[in-house]
Structure formats: structure tokens, C-alpha cells
Amino acid sequence: MSGWAEKRIYQRVSFLCRVDLTADDGATIEASTVDISLGGAGVVSSRFVAEGRAVTLAFHLRDRAGAPAVERIDGAVAHARADVDGHTLGIEFLAPIQKASNPLLTRIVERL
């Protein structure tokens, strides 16, 4: 492996989830995750977001009772690749997912 993949601290696992990605310019893009770790997520999006841009991801989840829930986490685009079918973004979280601030995401990642 080379480049950004070698810099990963946390192991990523497959995870499909709808997310709203809000860029630092205020634009919100509906996107989907493809994988997640305690320190970041892989996202596919219809809009390109350049490396280094600050973003907030709003994960659309379900709580233990099955009710819709949203958890947000701030990050930055660590890598971005444009493709004809969409754009692949590697988002590095500003701080690792923690139970106190993201209980549902923590539970999901720990289960995977």
C-alpha cells in the first residue's frame, strides 16, 4: 500500500449509510459511506470536494428502538478522487469517534 492508506491509524470496515456532507462553504451534499473507522470514513458523493476542505458529516442512523437518529462529526477531506460515476472522498475525523459524543456510531463501529 502507498500514500494516504499507509497513514491510517484505525482499521476501516465496510459500512453503508446515508450521510449529509456539509462543506466549509455551507453547501450540503447527500452522500453515502462505503467504510468507516474510529478515525474516518470513505464517502461517495455526486459533488467533488477538494482535499483539505473542512466538512461535517451527518450520519442518518437508527437508535436501539429503531427510531431515526442523526449523529454529526467534523472532519477534513484527506483525499479525493473524481470519477464519472461519482466522487470518492476519504474523510479524516478531527477527533476519533467517542461514546460520549457519538454513541450510535461508536456502537456500530465496535460491532463491525
- Asked if pLDDT for residue 6 goes beyond 60, the answer is no
What was the pLDDT predicted at 8? 60
Please state the domain count of the chain: 1
Determine the structural domain holding residue 39 and report its residue range: 3-111
pLDDT band at residue 1 under the 50/70/90 scheme: very low
CATH number at residue 80: 2.40.10.220
pLDDT band, residue 7 (cuts 50/70/90): low
> pLDDT tens for residues 29-65?
999 999 999 999 999 999 999 999 999 999 999 998 9
- E strand map for the chain: 13-23, 28-36, 40-45, 54-62, 68-83, 86-93
Tens of pLDDT, residues 71-100: 999 999 999 999 877 899 999 999 999 999
> How far apart, in whole angstroms, are the C-alpha atoms of residue 102 and residue 112?
16
- Residue 5 clears pLDDT 80, i.e. is over it: no
pLDDT at 95: 94
Q: How many CB atoms lie within 10 A of CB 90?
A: 22
